[in-house]
Structure 1
Amino acid sequence: MKTQEHINYNRIAAAIDYIRNHFREQPGLDEVAESVHLSPAHFQRMFTEWAGTSPKKFLQYISLEYAKGMLKESTIFDAAFETGLSSTSRLHDLFIAIEGMTPAEYKHGGKNLVINYSFAESPFGNLVVAATPKGVCYMAFHDEETAGFEDLRAKFPNATFQRKLDLLQQNALFIFQHDWSKLPEIKLHLRGTDFQLKVWESLLKIPLGKLSTYGTIAANIGSPSASRAVGTAIGSNPVAYLIPCHRVIQSGGTFGDYMWGSTRKTAIIGWEAARAGQ
C-alpha cells in the first residue's frame, strides 16, 4: 500500500515531467496543477516543499537552460521564440534575474564584462579575488596564482580581465582584518538561481563563531525537505569566506566537506570561534 508521502512524491515527479515536456507552451499554475489533479493552492505549497522552489521558478529554470543551449547556435530572437517566451525582452529579464547578465553577455561568455582581479594573503592561505563594476563576483582559496586565474577565467571565459586591486576587492578583504565596520561596504555581484541566492542569503545570517546545519538552512528558507538541494547550492558558492558556507556542518556534528579543503574549514571554524569569544 502506498503511503501519502509516496503519493505526493509521484505527483510532484509527474508535475516536473509535465513542465519539462510543455515548457515551450509556458503553462500556468492552474494548468500544471490540473495535470496532477490538485488545486492550484495545494499544488503550489506541495511543489515548493518537495522541489525547493515554486512551480513558476522551476519553469523559468527549465526555460533558461533550454535558452542557453539555443544561444550557442542561434540568435536571441530565435532562442526566445523556441523557448516559448513572447518576446526577447522576457528572455532578457529572465537572464538578468537568474544569471546576472543579459542574453547577449551570456552568448558571448561574458564578453562585455570587465573583471578586475588580484591575489592576496589571508590567515587561511592565498586568495584570488575578482570584481565587476557591480561587486565581488569571485573569491577562492588558491595556493598557486596560475591555477587560481584559470579557475576564474573558466567562470567567465570571454570576459576582459585586468590584474588590478580595486576598492571593491579591498573592502572585501577587510573581513580578515577584523575591521567589521567595513562589512556594509562589501558589494557582491552573484549569478545563481533563485534557490541558490536564497541559500547564500541565509548563510550570511549565521553569526561569526556560530554554526548551522543543512537541515536548519533548508527550514530557514521555507524548504524543510530540501537539505540535499541546500548542500548542492552551498557547494556552488562562488565567494569563499564572504558567504560563510564553512559555518554549515552535518546534523551529527561532523564538519563535513568543504570546497577548499576540510582542514581549512576546521581551521576557519576554530579561528572564528576564538575571535567571537574575545
Structure 2
Amino acid sequence: MSTVIAQQQNYQRIAQAIRYLSAKQQKQPSLAELAAHVGVSEFHLQRIFTEWVGLSPKQFLQFLTKENAKRLLRSNSVMEAALACGLSGSSRLHDLMIKTERVTPGEYRRMGAGLQIRYGSCPSLFGYCFIAVNHRGLCKLAFFDDADDEASLLLELQQEWAAAELIRDDSRATALYEQVFGAVSKSPSSSQGLFQAPSHSVVVLLKGSEFQMQVWQALMAIPLGEVCSYQQLAESMGMPSSARAVASAIARNNIAYLIPCHRVIRGTGEFSEYRWGADRKRAMLLHEHSMGS
C-alpha cells in the first residue's frame, strides 16, 4: 500500500475521531472510548492522531473549545503583521512559492473556448483530491469522499469552463498533487508528518470578479494554522461593512487549501461549515497547527 493511500485512510479515521470528539466534548471521552468508536487500538489511534496533527486527542479537545477559538480571534497582531509584511519562516504554507494569475477578460467571455483542461483524482492527506489544470496553471483543486461527490465536482468544472475540452488524466492529477503539496516525510527531530516544499513554483489560475480576487488574496495572508473571522478579514481589507460579501466570495473559492478559506471561522468562535466538509476543515487546521508549532 502506498504512503499516500495509507495517509488517506488515516485521514478517514481521524475525521471520524474528530466528529466523535466534537459531539462528545462536554463529556470529555477517554482514549479507550474514542478508540472503540473508531475501531482501532488505543495505541494505534494515539500514534496516528499525534503523527498527523502533532497533538494528542486530549490536546485536540482543548484546541477545539470555543474559548480557545475566541482567544485566537482576539490575537490580531499576527494577522496584522502578516497582512502588512507577508509571511516568513520555513514552516509557512506560502514558502511553497505559490504564484497566482487571473483569467483575462477574453478568457472569461470565451468560457474556455480553445482551451484543453486535464483533470483527475488521487488519494491525498485530506481524503480524495480533485485537480484540474490548463496550460496557464492549476484552475481547480477540491476534496471529496465518494463517487457522487466527484461527479458533482466534474459538473462544477464543466460549468466553470463550459466551452473547454475536458480530458480525464489521473496520472497528471497525481503529479500535480505532488507538485502542489510536495512529498510527505518524517522530520528527523519530530514524529509528525511534514510537507517538503516543491523545487519550483505552483501557478494558480484564478477566475472571479475584482472583489473576489481581493478576498482570495487576503486569505493567502492568514498565517499557517491561525484563524480569523469573516468580520476581521473584511476589516483587514478596509471594508468593515462587507463581512457578508466577503463570506460569499470565500464560498466561491475553487482552489482548496492553497487559497486557505478553511482558516476563516465565525466571530463566535464556531468553526462553521466548509465547502469541502467541516471535519476536513478541522483536520486541515490541526495539521497546519502542528506544522507551525
Normalising by structure 1, we get a TM-score of 0.58
Q: Structure 1 regions of 5+ residues with no counterpart?
A: 1-97
CA–CA distance in 2 between the matches of 1:183 and 1:205? Answer: 22
Any stretches of 5+ residues in structure 2 without a counterpart? 1-100, 186-193
- Structure 1 217/262 Cα, relative in aligned 2: closer, same or farther at 3 Å? same
Q: CA RMSD in A?
A: 2.5
Of Structure 1 and Structure 2, which has the larger fraction of its residues in strand? 2
Tell me the equivalent position of 2:267.
Answer: 251
Please, which of 243, 251, 257 is the counterpart of residue 227 of structure 1? 243
For 1:116, the equivalent position in structure 2 comes to 118
Residues 218 and 175 of structure 1: CA distance in aligned 2, closer, same or farther (over 3 Å): farther
What residue number does 2:11 align with? Answer: none
Structure 1: distance between partners of 2:221 and 2:183: 15
Q: Distance in 2 between matches of 1:231 and 1:183?
A: 34
> Match of 2:127?
125
Q: Cα distance, 1:181 vs. partner? A: 3.0
Cα deviation for residue 207 of structure 1 reads: 1.4
Counterpart contact for 1:123–1:176, Cα < 8 Å: no
Aligned to 1:240: 256
Task: Give the deviation of 1:208 after TM superposition.
Answer: 1.2
> Residue 31 of structure 1 aligns with which residue?
none
Match of 2:228 in 1: 212
What SS does structure 1 have at the residue aligned with 2:203?
coil
SS at match of 1:128: strand
Inter-CA distance 129–202: structure 2 relative to 1 (3 Å threshold)? same
Cα distance, 1:147 vs structure 2: 3.6
Q: Tell me the residue number matched to 1:174.
A: 182
Structure 1 residue 118, shift from structure 2 partner: 2.1
- The equivalent of 1:161 in structure 2 is 166
Distance, in Å, in 1 between the alignment partners of 2:116 and 2:208 is 19
- Asked if 2 retains the 8 angstrom alpha-carbon contact of 1:218 and 1:225, the reply is yes
Taking a change above 3 Å as real, the CA distance of residues 183 and 270 of structure 1, as seen in their structure-2 partners, is farther
Hey, what's the Cα distance between the residues in 2 that align with 1:182 and 1:194?
29
Residue in structure 2 matched with residue 29 of structure 1 by the alignment: none
Which of residues 211, 233, 249 in structure 2 aligns to 1:195? 211
Between the aligned partners of 1:216 and 1:180, the Cα distance in structure 2 is 31
Contact (CA 8 Å) 2:111, 2:164: kept in 1 or not?
Answer: yes
Query: Counterpart amino acid of 2:220?
Result: L
Task: Calculate the TM-score normalised by the size of structure 2.
Answer: 0.55
1:150 corresponds to which residue? 155
Which structure's relative contact order is higher, taking Cα pairs within 8 Å and 6+ residues apart? 2
Q: Match of 1:42?
A: none
Alpha-carbon distance in structure 2 between the residues aligned to 1:215 and 1:162 = 40
The answer to whether the 8 A contact 2:181-2:196 is kept is no
- 2: distance between equivalents of 1:156 and 1:176? 32
Distance in 1 (alpha carbons) for counterparts of 2:239 and 2:199: 28
Residue of structure 1 equivalent to 2:143: 141
